[in-house]
């Protein structure tokens, strides 16, 4: 039953993928993600250069002037690898900031009989997004250590961890528009297993390059449908 409602929710979301409002959210989230990753890379490069200085005195070698350059190039080389892991949580977090736009598009087409949803204040949306972003990045950085020791299980750890976090957050944001924060929490707790499965099914294609750019949008739409269907079931 849980899988059936998840798949039907995803099917409804997929049927609306060409919506212009979906594309706007995609471009906003992608633009902010790229800007953040590029900015973080150059900030880290500058910080390491500042710590090391122009020259470093090493035992047996004396004064060396290329350490800061080597660290700078190392950051540029490591950044694309790190972005493979960080692009997913960061893009998903930024997309959650604009989930209202996706949810409005879904409800306009499929749930037009409902009254307008309660708008979430921008300050509250930014606060929730930053909190979610911090949890996602911290959890995925910790998971990097597990990947080293449990390499064969790395994909399953990634999917399970991000599935839980994404499902929890996306459902909460979708439900909060109609039920308020506390009502959304109660409904989420009652259907946590279904939400975790839906989040995991969302996290799996997030590991596929290019496809992972549209998945947060589809996820937001899917969880909007999922919320309405679970609420109808009580």
Mean pLDDT of the region 10-14: 89
Cα separation, 75 vs 220, whole angstroms:
33
Q: Which range is most confident: 18-22, 51-55, 62-66, 172-176?
A: 172-176
pLDDT at 191: 94
Q: What's the chain's Rg over C-alpha atoms?
A: 21
Residue 197's SS3 state is helix
Cα separation, 139 vs 142, whole angstroms:
5
Mean pLDDT of the region 32-42: 73
pLDDT at 197: 94
Q: What is the mean pLDDT of the chain?
A: 78
Mean pLDDT of the region 206-222: 79
Please say whether the beta carbons of 199 and 192 come within 8 A.
no
Higher pLDDT, 32 or 102: 102
pLDDT at 198: 94
Q: How confident is the model over 109-161, as pLDDT tens digits?
A: 999 888 888 777 777 777 777 777 778 778 878 888 888 888 888 889 888 98
Cα separation, 94 vs 25, whole angstroms:
9
């Amino acid at each position: 039953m849980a899988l059936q409602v998840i798949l039907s929710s995803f099917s409804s979301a997929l049927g609306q993928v060409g919506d212009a409002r979906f594309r706007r959210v995609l471009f906003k989230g992608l633009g902010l993600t790229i800007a953040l990753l590029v900015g973080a890379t150059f900030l880290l490069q500058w910080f390491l250069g500042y710590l090391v200085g122009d020259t470093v005195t090493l035992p047996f070698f004396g004064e060396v002037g290329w350490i800061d350059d080597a660290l700078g190039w190392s950051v540029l080389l490591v950044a694309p690898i790190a972005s493979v892991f960080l692009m997913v949580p960061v893009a998903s977090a930024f997309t959650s900031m604009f989930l209202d736009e996706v949810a409005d598009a879904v409800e306009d087409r499929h749930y037009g009989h409902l009254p307008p949803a309660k708008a979430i204040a921008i300050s509250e949306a930014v606060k929730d997004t930053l909190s979610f972003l911090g949890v996602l990045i911290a959890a995925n950085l910790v998971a990097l250590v597990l990947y080293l020791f449990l390499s064969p299980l790395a994909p399953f750890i990634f999917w399970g961890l991000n599935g839980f976090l994404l499902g929890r957050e996306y459902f909460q944001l979708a439900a909060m528009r109609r039920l308020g924060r506390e009502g959304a929490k109660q409904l989420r707790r009652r259907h946590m297993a279904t939400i975790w499965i839906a989040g995991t099914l969302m996290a799996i294609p997030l590991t596929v390059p290019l496809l992972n750019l549209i998945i947060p949008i589809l996820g937001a739409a899917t969880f909007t449908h999922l919320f309405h269907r679970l609420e109808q079931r009580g």
